[in-house]
Structure 1
Amino acid sequence: MKDEDKKAEALSRRALLEEHRPERIHARLGQAPRSQRVSDFVLGAIDGCVTTFAIVAGAFGAGFSESVVLVMGFANLMADGFSMAVSNYEAVSVEREQADAAARTEGEHIALVPEGEREEIRQIFQRKGFHGPVLGEIVATITANRQLWIETMLAEEYGISRATRRPLGSAMITFIAFIGVGAIPLLPYLFPPLSLTEQFYSSSALAACTFLAIGLCKGLVFSQRAWLAGLKTLVFGSGAAVLALAVGFFLRGFIA
């Protein structure tokens, strides 16, 4: 191992040790769970850019004018953006309703059959490798606090995280990302001096940079390999565009 690598590893270890000091851990665990707004933004941004550039590619393949591209593109932005926002709103609402229903069910079970629910806790932690007095203490501690008891059952039995999203907030983030990012491939068509071919290639370059940027941001936020995440998003987005372009060229002969 090179000296530079050893120094980098030592610095990384010191940073990790600093982050795992008792007071740092206490402060971190006391914070609210990480917001899911990033996933809402990525969802809207990728879909907005993909669908809009798919329209651009399909229209170019079919030989449509720039005015047709703009009308179809902005109409798609508003209609599909609103549709996606509503869909995300409903999806998040269902998640919250399911979590609330599961919490009510567990609360009723604890009230009606506490010994049965206590046995569930015991078996859950027994499967995690706890036995004897330690297992008994864990069960006693959890079941002594009704809210903790319910939250533990939700996490262990239903797989429901305490990180929740607000339906309206998720819908707004998705809509804004869809509109804002989805409009990028249409920007070259707002400059009439460019030819249709120049507009399409400019739009392609902007879309490719956008896909790459979204993937890079996603990778950085979720501690993934940024360039790999960026390339994956670029490939997926480009694949949709190629399909739209092929369909446009194929149908061109039927509408010419």
Structure 2
Amino acid sequence: MALAEGELDKSLLNQHTEKHFTSGEIVRDIIIGVSDGLTVPFALAAGLSGANSSSAIILTAGIAEVAAGAISMGLGGYLAAKSEVDHYKRELQREQDEIIAVPDTEAAEVGEILSEYGVQPHEYTPVVNALRKNPQAWLDFMMKFELGLEKPDRKRAVKSAVTIGIAYIVGGVVPLIPYMFIPIAKKAVLASVVLTLIALMIFGYAKGYFTGNKPVRSALETALIGAIASAAAFGMAKAVQLG
């Protein structure tokens, strides 16, 4: 009878397909890169336009900023991801040592964790005993449920650096496009504003869609942030020029 129930449960699982978005880290890196890539060069170009710089100068400065920004952001992503891996390794070793040195204490912690989910002692005792017979499963359980740590991808650091860097370049090129074709900066900045705001709205909509937020609201919020950044830079450049 137990086997039949197990087979039934397995059958139900095979029939049920859950749809979850599992590329959160990649999307996060893209969001970081594109959002900064769109706003920072946009604000820089707007600020230089406010100082009556030529399109050629603005384009040169913008390209230099995009290159430097992509390297800086990529390096930051690499170091952050590497720190996450190093932290996991340290905690894994510490938890492994504790399981060997004080197994009874660690077993008690398993029971305490399960009790927080409403599992009674007579119910979780067999689970604790089963984990004690399987040290690797026990270690994985403690890492996930006691420390709340998921095993990071060892290649994550390089992937993060490349993803953020490329995303920054893609975003950073957008506000500079008008300056490639319009020699007069005052005219180019208007086209840059329109083009960048459209790009921000598209990006914000996509961000909201993939992260489960309201796409329209996300599009408007992203565009508003970009508009505020560029307006601030433009205003500061004008103030310095008048001063």
Sort the TM-score into its range (normalised by shorter chain): 0.7 to 0.9
- CA-based RMSD of the aligned residues comes to 2.3
Residues 33 and 162 in structure 1, CA contact (< 8 A), matched pair in contact too: no
Q: Which moved more, 1:215-224 or 1:134-143?
A: 134-143
Residues 48 and 182 in structure 1, CA contact (< 8 A), matched pair in contact too: yes
Equivalent residue in structure 2 for 1:176, among 148, 166, 185 = 166
Under a length normalisation based on structure 1, what TM-score does the superposition of the two structures give?
Answer: 0.84
Post-superposition offset of 1:115? 0.8
User: What does the per-residue CA deviation read over 1:121-155, in whole Å, with 9 as the maximum and x for residues that have no partner?
Assistant: 11111122111321213323333332222222222
Residues 203 and 219 in structure 2, CA contact (< 8 A), matched pair in contact too: yes
Residues 42 and 196 in structure 2, CA contact (< 8 A), matched pair in contact too: yes
- Quote the residue 2:115 is aligned against: 126
- Quote the residue 2:99 is aligned against: 110
Post-superposition offset of 1:169? 0.7
Equivalent residue in structure 2 for 1:64, among 53, 56, 62 = 53
Opposite residue 168 of structure 2, the aligned amino acid is F
Opposite residue 72 of structure 1, the aligned amino acid is A
- Quote the residue 2:71 is aligned against: 82
Post-superposition offset of 1:35? 5.1
SS of the residue 1:36 aligns to: helix
Residues 214 and 230 in structure 1, CA contact (< 8 A), matched pair in contact too: yes
- Quote the residue 2:218 is aligned against: 229
Residues 35 and 163 in structure 1, CA contact (< 8 A), matched pair in contact too: no
- Do the aligned partners of residues 24 and 214 (structure 1) sit closer, same or farther apart at CA in structure 2, a change above 3 Å counting? farther
Question: Would you say how many aligned residue pairs link Structure 1 and Structure 2?
Answer: 232
Equivalent residue in structure 1 for 2:206, among 205, 210, 217 = 217
Post-superposition offset of 1:163? 5.2
Give the whole-Å Cα distance in 2 for the aligned partners of 1:23 and 1:35: 25
SS of the residue 1:224 aligns to: coil
- Structure 1, unmatched stretches of 5+, are 1-20
SS of the residue 1:236 aligns to: helix
- Quote the residue 1:91 is aligned against: 80
Task: Say whether residues 1:38 and 2:5 are aligned partners.
Answer: no
Give the whole-Å Cα distance in 2 for the aligned partners of 1:137 and 1:231: 53
- Quote the residue 2:138 is aligned against: 149
Opposite residue 138 of structure 2, the aligned amino acid is W
Q: Which moved more, 1:158-167 or 1:58-67?
A: 158-167
Opposite residue 179 of structure 2, the aligned amino acid is Y
Under a length normalisation based on structure 2, what TM-score does the superposition of the two structures give?
Answer: 0.88
User: What does the per-residue CA deviation read over 1:148-195, in whole Å, with 9 as the maximum and x for residues that have no partner?
Assistant: 222222222322124546100110000001011111000001113x63
Pairing 1:230-249 to 2, within 5 Å after superposition: 230-249=219-238
- Do the aligned partners of residues 34 and 242 (structure 1) sit closer, same or farther apart at CA in structure 2, a change above 3 Å counting? same
Give the whole-Å Cα distance in 2 for the aligned partners of 1:154 and 1:171: 26
- Do the aligned partners of residues 232 and 138 (structure 1) sit closer, same or farther apart at CA in structure 2, a change above 3 Å counting? farther
User: What does the per-residue CA deviation read over 1:212-240, in whole Å, with 9 as the maximum and x for residues that have no partner?
Assistant: 11211111112211111111211222221
Residues 55 and 184 in structure 2, CA contact (< 8 A), matched pair in contact too: no
Residues 84 and 152 in structure 2, CA contact (< 8 A), matched pair in contact too: no
- Do the aligned partners of residues 241 and 24 (structure 1) sit closer, same or farther apart at CA in structure 2, a change above 3 Å counting? farther
